[in-house]
């Protein structure tokens, strides 16, 4: 199935590792021009750009930009436009996930989690939507939420869970506002996916988790990436404001 993504300009936040990396590769495989940012993993980011360009013959741009800093997000978006062209698709993927019971969290940790996971998404989306409206062209935003938005966590990630709930509400609210202008906004809610974010918890509690996952395994990042690429494509042209359940049956809402 041709997804008509060739030469589209895609910006993926947090593309250096895990699900974001798989999303970058899935778009590159469709012939899209892929930009992504990172905050710490410079070597991995540079290696990924080179890999995507070598393997898929497409342009790939990595940018160091902290999603908790408005000026860095704005500068990143300008750099992407100047290097690859006007952005067609934004994937809000970057996130942090501190651990502990409610009593262990400082207000700073709560605010830092929201700064990256929610405010960063808001700023990047506002900047991309504003340009898409100005250019009078359609586009797509895909937000990587989590099953934790609906079910919370059993391992103590309250700021993260709450931030993911905000992402789901943001997806609906923005979709209502901009869908008539040709901009679709959707989210994916993964369950457990094999990345650094959950590697330790998964190894420690594998048996317990498996009891809650009807598909009886952890997801691979590529499986989430495939959903994102579909949602961003014209083939998903009648889907907006949705949060796709990619939890291996954990949710079954």
Ligand X SMILES: NC(=O)c1ccc[n+]([C@@H]2O[C@H](COP(=O)([O-])OP(=O)(O)OC[C@H]3O[C@@H](n4cnc5c(N)ncnc54)[C@H](OP(=O)(O)O)[C@@H]3O)[C@@H](O)[C@H]2O)c1
Give me the residues that bind ligand X (CB under 6 A), please. Answer: 14-20, 37-41, 66-68, 93-96, 116, 144, 146, 190, 192-193, 195-198
What is the C-alpha separation between 80 and 64, in angstroms, rounded? Answer: 12
Which residue's beta carbon is nearest to the bound ligand X?
18
The pair phi, psi for residue 90, each rounded to 5°, is -115, 130
Place of tokens 């262990």: 104
Q: Is 160 a catalytic residue?
A: yes
What is the secondary structure of 166-186 as a DSSP string? Answer: HHHHHHHHHHHHHGGGTEEEE
Closest separation in Å from C-beta 249 to ligand X: 14
- Name which of 133 and 242 has its Cβ closer to ligand X: 242
Closest separation in Å from C-beta 55 to ligand X: 19
Closest separation in Å from C-beta 18 to ligand X: 2
**CB of 65 closer than 8 Å to CB of 40:** no
- Name which of 105 and 182 has its Cβ closer to ligand X: 105
**CB of 143 closer than 8 Å to CB of 174:** no
- Name which of 37 and 125 has its Cβ closer to ligand X: 37
Cα atoms in the Cβ-side hemisphere of radius 13 Å centred on 211: 3
Size of the chain in residues = 253
- Name which of 8 and 21 has its Cβ closer to ligand X: 21
Place of tokens 């952890």: 218
| Sign of the torsion formed by the C-alpha atoms of 62, 6, 177 and 148 | negative
Q: Which residue in the list 38, 51, 160, 209 is annotated as catalytic? A: 160
Closest separation in Å from C-beta 146 to ligand X: 4
What is the C-alpha separation between 195 and 74, in angstroms, rounded? Answer: 28
Closest separation in Å from C-beta 54 to ligand X: 20
- Name which of 84 and 197 has its Cβ closer to ligand X: 197
State the catalytic residues: 160
């Amino acid at each position: 199935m041709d997804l008509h993504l060739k030469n589209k300009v895609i910006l993926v936040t947090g593309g250096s590792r895990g699900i974001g990396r798989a999303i970058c590769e899935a778009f590159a495989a469709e012939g899209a021009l892929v930009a992504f940012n990172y905050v710490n993993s410079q070597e991995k980011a540079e290696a990924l750009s080179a890999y995507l360009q070598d393997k898929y013959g497409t342009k790939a741009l990595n940018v160091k930009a902290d999603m908790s800093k408005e000026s860095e997000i704005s500068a990143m978006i300008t750099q992407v436009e100047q290097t690859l062209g006007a952005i067609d698709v934004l994937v809000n993927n970057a996130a942090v996930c501190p651990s502990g019971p409610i009593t262990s969290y400082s207000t700073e940790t709560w605010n830092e989690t929201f700064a990256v996971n929610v405010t960063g998404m808001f700023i990047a989306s506002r900047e991309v939507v504003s340009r898409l409206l100005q250019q009078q062209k359609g586009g797509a935003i895909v937000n990587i939420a989590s099953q934790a938005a609906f079910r919370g966590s059993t391992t103590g990630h309250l700021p993260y869970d709450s931030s993911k709930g905000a992402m789901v509400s943001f997806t609906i609210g923005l979709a209502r506002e901009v869908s008539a202008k040709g901009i679709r906004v959707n989210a994916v809610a993964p369950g457990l996916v094999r990345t650094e974010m959950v590697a330790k918890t998964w190894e420690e509690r594998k048996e317990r988790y498996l009891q809650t996952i009807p598909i009886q395994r952890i997801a691979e990042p590529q499986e989430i990436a495939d959903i994102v690429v579909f949602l961003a494509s014209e083939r998903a042209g009648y889907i907006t404001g949705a949060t796709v359940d990619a939890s291996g049956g954990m949710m079954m809402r």
